[in-house]
């Protein structure tokens, strides 16, 4: 216990310090903010190696199969549905219902086959 007998006011002499409890509001605010930031964080991790991507994309272009690609674009994830029509070592040509797009292979996060109706 801290000796406060030198203080002139009785309320100050009898004050009981709450210890770390007075910091709990600050901690909870910071903790809540970090949880919200973590929840809103976009996962841009890649599960596929470059060799896996090239192999899958090559098979998709030969078989004329429809696929769903998850790509990163400006720190966001985009899902594109369509058909791979051309593959080069650095990018692909992807045909969607809106037209053709060139997509950098490094930006591809996931490749899934889909069963989608013809849109031509």
Query: Would 56 be classed as within a structural domain?
Result: yes
74 is a domain residue: yes
- Average pLDDT, whole number, for the chain? 78
Residue 31 lies in a domain: no
Q: Is the pLDDT of residue 120 over 60?
A: no
The conformational region for residue 64 under phi > 0 = left, psi -120 to 50 = alpha, else beta, is: left
Domain assignment of residue 43, yes or no: no
- What are the structure tokens assigned to 71, written together? 């790509």
| pLDDT tens digits, one per residue of 25-76 | 565 677 778 877 777 766 656 677 888 888 888 888 777 778 888 888 887 8
- In this structure, is residue 7 part of a structural domain? no
In a domain, 119, yes or no: no
Rounded average pLDDT over 75-99: 87
CA–CA gap between residue 16 and residue 9 (Å, rounded) = 14
- pLDDT confidence bin for 4, thresholds 50/70/90: confident
Q: What is the pLDDT of residue 111?
A: 86
**Residue 78 covered by a domain:** yes
Task: Count up the domains in the chain and report the number.
Answer: 1
How much is the pLDDT for 117? 45
Residue 68 within a domain: yes
The percent of residues above 90 in pLDDT, for the chain, comes to 1
The per-residue b/e assignment along 73-101, b for 16 or more CB within 10 angstroms, e otherwise, is eeeeeeebebbbeebeeebbebbeeeeee
Q: Which domain holds residue 86?
A: 50-113
CATH code of residue 105: 2.30.30.100
């Amino acid at each position: 216990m801290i000796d406060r007998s030198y203080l002139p006011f009785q309320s100050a002499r009898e004050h009981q310090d709450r210890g770390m409890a007075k910091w709990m509001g600050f901690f909870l605010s910071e903790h809540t903010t970090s949880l919200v930031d973590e929840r809103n964080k976009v996962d841009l991790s890649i599960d596929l190696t470059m060799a896996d991507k090239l192999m899958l994309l090559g098979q998709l272009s030969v078989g004329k199969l429809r696929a769903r690609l998850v790509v990163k674009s400006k720190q966001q994830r985009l899902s594109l549905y369509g058909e791979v029509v051309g593959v080069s070592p650095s990018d692909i040509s992807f045909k969607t219902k809106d037209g053709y797009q060139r997509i950098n292979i490094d930006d591809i996060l996931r490749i899934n086959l889909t069963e989608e109706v013809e849109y031509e």
